[in-house]
Amino acid sequence: MHTIKDLQVKVSEIFDSRDYMSAPSELYEPIQYSLSQGGKRLRPLLSLMSCSLYGGDLDEVKNAAIGLEIFHNFTLLHDDIMDESPLRRGMPSVYHKWDANTAILSGDTMFVVAYEYITDTNPNILIDTLKVFNTTAREVCEGQQYDMNFETQKVTSIDDYMEMIRLKTAVLIAAALKIGAIAARASKEEQLRIYEFGILIGLAFQLRDDFLDAFGNEKTFGKPIGNDIVTNKKTYLYLKAYQLANKETKLKLDSAFAIEDKKQKVKEVLSLFEELNIREITEEKITEMYNQSKQLLKEVDRPEEEKSEMYTFLMKLIKREV
């Protein structure tokens, strides 16, 4: 078993020693730019953590872990085109720094590079790893489509929202853990357990993101507060508020979300959220997921101490304390 600190160092080493440049430079420079920006590199870390938890050899999961991170960055390149996002990790997005065509084609190439790394997995576990990766990649695309659909849909249920964030965010976190378990030759049952654990962690992570956008602290959150409110984004908080509001409050929500002045808008919406107890309800929902995930981890057949280090880290991560 390695400490989380060890694994973080290992992830940094893996990425810092790599260069993605090749010819033509117009294609590979944006890839190099995207992958050198760093970010949390959460997914490879999760793969290494899971492999280590199950007593595996980290070299067996290394390449697949790199593949997962490159895949994740590929989705960001394409998402930024679709969402017209000028920024990514506080820097100009590839879409904005270059153009849409560059983000399309460099993104496609990153997708291939991700598969090249996955392919470079021990043949004994290649098919299992590939299948998890394929299924996950397809689901992430489906999640992005549902997310785009929601923008134009008049009514979105909370169930549909949870399914969307499961596909768009949670499955890749769960897959990262499962691929680590596969690399460590954990049993099918354990693979499934750590996957389900990852789904809960992923959902909690996204709900916490929704929560922090409204009730967070700009410094620890790392993004401006209230952005989801300003853009009328259908978050868990938004949907819950409309679900719980009576006719009169619904009209108030409509008015608040229609306010032009950004500051005023955020203030009014937050006050309605408080009135409807959205803060407590969301926290409760997240806690419910914590408890479920804790229960699942309890069943994982590994030493308590090792599980607890991982869990503590993940809790901090969800709370944006790491």
The verdict on 144 binding a copy of itself (CB under 8 A) reads: yes
114-133 positions binding a copy of itself, by CB under 8 A = 115-116, 119, 123, 126-127, 130-131
Q: Give the residue with the Cβ less far from a copy of itself, 44 or 67.
A: 67
How many chain residues are in contact with a copy of itself, going by CB under 8 A?
Answer: 34
How far apart are alpha carbons 307 and 53 in whole angstroms? 7
Q: How far apart are CA 196 and CA 190, in angstroms?
A: 10
Beta-carbon contacts of residue 279 (< 8 Å; ≥ 6 apart): 211, 214, 215, 273
By the rule CB under 8 A, 101 interacts with a copy of itself: yes
Contact between 63 and a copy of itself per CB under 8 A: no
Candidates 22, 34, 48, 13; CA nearest to 80 is 34
Question: Which tokens hold the place of 27?
Answer: 């294609």
Spatial separation of the C-alpha atoms in residues 94 and 116, rounded to whole Å: 22
Which listed residue (23, 261, 305, 321) binds a copy of itself by CB under 8 A? 23
- Residue 148 or 281: the one with the smaller Cβ distance to a copy of itself is 148
Question: Is the previous residue joined to 86 through a cis bond, with omega within 30 degrees of 0?
Answer: no
Distances (CA, A) of 120 to 32, 63, 112, 113, 275: 20, 6, 12, 11, 54
For residue 39, the tally of other CB atoms under 10 A from its CB is: 15
Separation between Cα atoms, residue 101 and residue 95, nearest integer Å: 8
| Near a copy of itself by CB under 8 A: residue from 6, 13, 16, 26 | 26
Smallest distance from the beta carbon of 144 to a copy of itself, in angstroms? 6
Is 141 among the residues that bind a copy of itself (CB under 8 A)?
Answer: yes
C-alpha torsion 38→322→71→175, nearest 10: 160
> Contact between 134 and a copy of itself (CB under 8 A)?
yes
The one among 21, 91, 112, 258 contacting a copy of itself by CB under 8 A? 112
As measured in angstroms, the least distance from the Cβ of 167 to a copy of itself is 10
With respect to a copy of itself, which residue has the nearer C-beta, 146 or 236?
146
Q: Where are the alpha helices (DSSP H) in 62-152?
A: 62-82, 94-97, 100-119, 123-152
- Between 7 and 81, whose beta carbon lies closer to a copy of itself? 81
Q: Phi, psi (5° rounding) for residue 302?
A: -140, 160
**73 is a site residue for a copy of itself (CB under 8 A):** no
Minimum Å distance from CB 96 to a copy of itself?
Answer: 16
Q: How far apart are CA 45 and CA 30, in angstroms?
A: 24
Q: Scanning residues 175 to 234, which ones bind a copy of itself (CB under 8 A)?
A: none
Nearer Cβ to a copy of itself (34/109): 109
* Sites of contact with a copy of itself (CB under 8 A): 23-24, 26-27, 78, 81-82, 100-101, 104-105, 108-109, 111-113, 115-116, 119, 123, 126-127, 130-131, 134, 137-138, 141-142, 144-146, 148-149
